[in-house]
Structure 1
Amino acid sequence: MAVRPEGMKVGIIANPNKPGAVRAYGRLVGALGQRGIESQVDRETAALVGGEGLPGPELAQASDLVVVLGGDGTMLHAVATLGGTETPMAGVNIGTLGFLTSCTDDELEEFAEALKNGSFHVSKRTMLAATVVRSDGRTKEYLALNEAVLARGQTGRLVSMKATVDGDLLNRYRADGLIVATPTGSTAYSLSAGGPLISPAADVFVITPICPHTLSQRSLVIDDTTEIELAPDGLEEGALLFTVDGRDCDEIGALDRVKIRKDARSLNLVRLEGRSFYGALRQKLNWRGG
């Protein structure tokens, strides 16, 4: 996706709970303004910095690019706030560089110059569409960049779940939960549960059990053209909990199920020249390399 450097209009979303967000906002607006790039904000950021703001989806529609000030968690929140837009998004981490962010708040001048010169590229990231299907046929839709998770609720015990792939039974699990992650999400919850690292360009999903009862229940990488269904397996004591990207918690009853598939939309993630997923891996995981 091409982004026009000349006449660019940039939307800005800042995390109000992040120390330094207001200062970073002021520096970013100044750096953009010096280069003739106009900026605007969403309503939540406007309440933080003053002025008028737009609702998330309108901000995305009215912007050539959206900059998110915070970290990876703020980026995930922004994906939901913007309504699954395909407007390119760039993250500025207030602190150390994250897996989703383009740069840190110490590099705002360099970042603004890259936008002016068009010296960046856009990485297309797979997104998940999840549908909760109730026993009475009612449905509710969710969108996720990292993962969808079905896990134990109030009980401290292992729970029983089953997973099917394109209608074919994959496995019955006794575990704390099940994660279905995108390649982008492979560096998040799935990784902490023992799942593999996956290149963002791979056309796959990974299904990772959380603390399974038996060691034979391992992560599985599958084609992302498939539809995955997760459901309780038997009558558990109390509902299970379903979340996407660590938010939108929903209770899943014994006769409910969750269908997960690749969404038609992608996240267009801005990367500066010379920055890569592999460089972020080296930094975040302390791998050896330049």
Structure 2
Amino acid sequence: MNLGVFVNPRKPDVADAFGRVCAAFEKRGWTVTLDEEGGAVVGRPGVKRFWEGADLVISIGGDGTFLETLHRMGGAPVPVAGVNIGHLGFLTACQDEDVDQLAEVVTGGLHLQVERSMLRVRMREEGGKEHEFLALNEVVLMRGETGRLVSLEAKVDGEILNEYRADGLIVATPTGSTAYSLAAGGPLVGPRAEVMVMTPICPHTLSGRALVIGDDSVVELSPSGDSPEPILFTVDGRDILRVAPDSVVVVDKAPNPLRVVRLPGHSFYETLRKKLLWSGGGL
């Protein structure tokens, strides 16, 4: 069995965590391939395309590292497990001290694979370059360097929904409903719900509310107004691009879901209670 590993080189304990992952999987007969940048940090040779030929990919860091791992993989159909260093994460499978258990259940085929829907996003940046991205959490259009509100026209399935005057607009998956969309006032959505969430960021009017739509919808976002302000674009909080003034950003459901590896007994709602400090029924 082959294991691909991506590590966050900025985490202070990543070398120790990687050592535990290697020990846990190699003693069970796995071959471990590390990413190139991580190899320079932990003192072990690595390769750029660490996921190729892998039966499983592990990200070592946190939720941000998990997202970076997915974007490096570019939609490759390999299941991914996150090993968290630090605080409890929504996306990770376990803490780094639990990797021996993870290796045991994965090797024995006792793990869970949870499908998470992703977004396909197409846009054109200033200069005319066309891009296509995959997003696990969200796509965001937001105000640029001037700090002024932006005007965005939103269409759903070809029909005009609204013209937003706001700091920006988020289109999120159910997974992303616990991330930036939640901070902007959007609803929490169960991970198996077949929906997308459109959440305005600090809208200029009180009627600007989050909207939940079916994930079979096609969302089109474009700059509007007579003199549109610069609009920035980002997917899962990564690289920031400037949207061309005549560009239409098209968002729909990606054809293939992400397969996330979980330990037996994992519960999204238990994680939700812990992260949000909700009571568990004992009060």
TM range (shorter): over 0.9
Aligned to 2:16: 23
Aligned to 1:67: 58
* TM-score (structure 2 length as normaliser): 0.94
Of the three residues 80, 91, 95, the one matched with 1:104 is: 95
Of the three residues 48, 62, 75, the one matched with 1:84 is: 75
* TM-score (structure 1 length as normaliser): 0.92
Write the distance in 2 (CA, Å) between the matches of 1:55 and 1:166: 39
1:58-106 per-residue CA deviation (whole Å, 9 max, x = no partner) reads x223100001000000011111111111200000010122000000112
* Over 3 Å off, 4+ runs: 133-138, 235-238
Aligned to 1:275: 266
Name the SS for the 1:225 alignment partner: coil
In the TM superposition, what are the counterparts of 1:170-209 in structure 2 within 5 Å? Answer: 170-209=161-200
**Distance change in 2, residues 1:136/1:47 (3 Å):** closer
Amino acid paired to 1:9: N
Write the distance in 2 (CA, Å) between the matches of 1:81 and 1:144: 12
1:166 aligns with 2:157: yes
Aligned to 2:33: 40
Structure 2: segments with no counterpart, 5+ residues: none
1:250 aligns with 2:259: no
Write the distance in 2 (CA, Å) between the matches of 1:67 and 1:214: 44
Structure 1: segments with no counterpart, 5+ residues: 1-7
Report how far residue 31 of structure 1 moved.
Answer: 1.4
Report percent identity of matched pairs. 51
Write the distance in 1 (CA, Å) between the matches of 2:193 and 2:227: 36
Write the distance in 2 (CA, Å) between the matches of 1:196 and 1:53: 41
**Distance change in 2, residues 1:225/1:22 (3 Å):** same
Write the distance in 1 (CA, Å) between the matches of 2:70 and 2:87: 21
1:150-169 per-residue CA deviation (whole Å, 9 max, x = no partner) reads 11001222221110011100
Name the SS for the 2:118 alignment partner: strand
Of residues 33-42 and 16-25 in structure 1, the stretch that sits farther from structure 2 once superposed is 33-42
1:126-167 per-residue CA deviation (whole Å, 9 max, x = no partner) reads 111111146997622122110000110012222211100111
Of the three residues 7, 12, 19, the one matched with 2:5 is: 12
Contact 1:134 1:255 in 2 (8 A): no
**Distance change in 2, residues 1:134/1:72 (3 Å):** closer
1:6-58 per-residue CA deviation (whole Å, 9 max, x = no partner) reads xx2111111000110001001111111222222111111222223332223xx
Name the SS for the 1:61 alignment partner: coil
